[in-house]
Chain A
Amino acid sequence: MFRKTISAGLLAICLAAPALQAQTAASAAAAAPAANPVDPAAVQALKDMGAHLQSLKRFRVSTELSGERVLADGQKLQHTATAEMDVQRPDRLRARMASARSQRELIFDGKTVTLYTPAQKYYSSVAFSGTLADLVEQLEERYGVELPLSDLFVWGTALAPLDKIESAMNAGQDFIGDDLCDHYAFRQGQVDWQIWITASGKPLPRKIVITNRADEARPQSVSLIDWNLKPAFGDASFRFTPPKGATQVELVPRKAK
C-alpha cells in the first residue's frame, strides 16, 4: 500500500516534470522534498541496523541517559540514570540500572524473570518464556516494567514496524565519542526522535534522542550507548540465587485506571 503511494507520487513527479521545467527549475526543486517526507534511505538505514542488531548473539551494552520531568508550571528538571546489560540471544539477559534514587537489576534466564533491589535485598520472580523482544513487550504490558534500551531488542522485528513513520530524513554526520555516525531524524505521532548510527563497519546505534511533543514543554531524553561485542561474561551472569537475608516481594500486575 505504502509502496504504491510512493510510486504513484513518483509517477506524478515524472509527468509533471516537463511542465515544471517550462516554469522555473527552482520551484521544481523546492517541491521535491514535500512529495515524500519519508526518505526511503533513512528508513533503510533503520532496517539495516535492526537486522544487524538481531544478528548479534552475545554482547554487553551500556547507556548513560538524561531524561526530563516537567513541573506543573512548565519548568523542566533533568535527571540522569545509567544501565548496563549482558545479553545472550535468544533468551538470556541481565540488566543493571542505577540512578540517584535507586539501583535495580533485572535477570532473565529463559524461564524466570527476576527483579532485584540490592539495597533492600528485595526480589520478585515471575515465570516467563520467549524471546527478548517478547520479554520487552510482555513485561511492559503485564507489569508496566520497562527495560533500558528496549529498542535494541525490538528493532528488526515485527514489533518495530517502520511503515508508520511520518517523516524521515538524513541529518548529516556527527561524531559520538570517536565514532563517525550517520545522523537520522524521524517523526511519528507525538514523538520526534533522532538516532546516530555508526557510519563504518556494521551499523550500531550510538545515541538516541526522543522528544515528546505531547507536552508543550517538549521533554526530551538523550541516551548515549556503548558497545562491547566480545564480552567476558559467562552463563552465571543470567542466574539469580537469592542472597542470604533476601525477601521475596509480590510483583503486582499493572492496573488499568
Chain B
Amino acid sequence: MKNSSRKLFMVPLAFAVLAGLTLAPLAEAAGRGGGHGGGGHAGGGGNRNVQAKHDRADSRTNNVRSTSVNNVNVNKNVNVNVDNNHGCCNNGWDNDYHPVATAAAVTATVAVTSAIVGSIVHSVPAGCVPVNYGGMIYQQCGSTWYQPQGTQYVVINPPY
C-alpha cells in the first residue's frame, strides 16, 4: 500500500521533470524573440520574431456576446457620443477581433455559397480585395469575408 502510493507520486514527478526539459528550449526561443527592445518596457512590442497561432483555440472562444464591449478609453465611453455596439467596429484599439458569435445561424442559411463562419484557412482565394474597416484589414472575397489572424485567416460575418 505504502509502496504503491509512492509510485503514484513518482509518476507525475517524472513527467514534470521531462516536461521541464522539453519546455526549456521553447522558453528560450520565446525569450529571444520577445527580448528585442530590452525587457521591462511597456508598449511598442513591434518586432517579434515568433508568430502567435490561433488554430488550436477552442471554437467557443469566438462566441463573444454582443454586450461584451471592451472599454479601453474613458472618454470614448462616457462622453463622446456613445453609439450602440452593433453599428461599428471593435470597441477599442486593442480589439483586433471580429466576433463570429452568430456562426451557427449564418452557416445554416448560407451554407450553400460560403465558407463556414469561424473556420480558419491558411490562405484566401484568388481575387479577394483587402478592405480597411474600423482600422482593421479584412479580405472580401465575393460574399465571404476573412480576417487575418497572424499568418492565417478566419471566416467572419460581413463587418458591414
Contact = CB atoms under 8 A, between A and B. Distances in A.
Interface of A: 61-65, 67-72, 77, 79-84, 96-104, 106, 115, 117-120, 122, 124, 137, 140-141, 143-151, 154-155, 159-161, 164, 188-189, 191, 193, 208, 210-212, 214-215, 217, 219-221, 223-226, 247, 249-252, 254-257
A159 B65 contact: no
A60 to B, nearest CB: 9
Interface stretch (B2-10, B25-33, B86-94): B86-94
B142 interface: no
A49 B73 CA distance: 16
Contacts of B148: 101-102, 119-120
Contact of B93 (A80, A83, A217): A83
A150 B72 CA distance: 9
Secondary structure dominating the interface of A: strand
A64 B63 CA distance: 25
A115 B135 contact: yes
Interface of B: 41-46, 48, 52, 54, 60-61, 63-65, 67-82, 86-97, 101, 130-137, 148-150, 160
Contacts of A219: 68-71
Given A83-B43, A210-B71, A257-B86, A252 B131 contact: yes
A120 B80 CA distance: 32
B156 to A, nearest CB: 13
B76 A140 contact: yes
Contact of B135 (A69, A145, A255): A145
Nearest to A217: B68
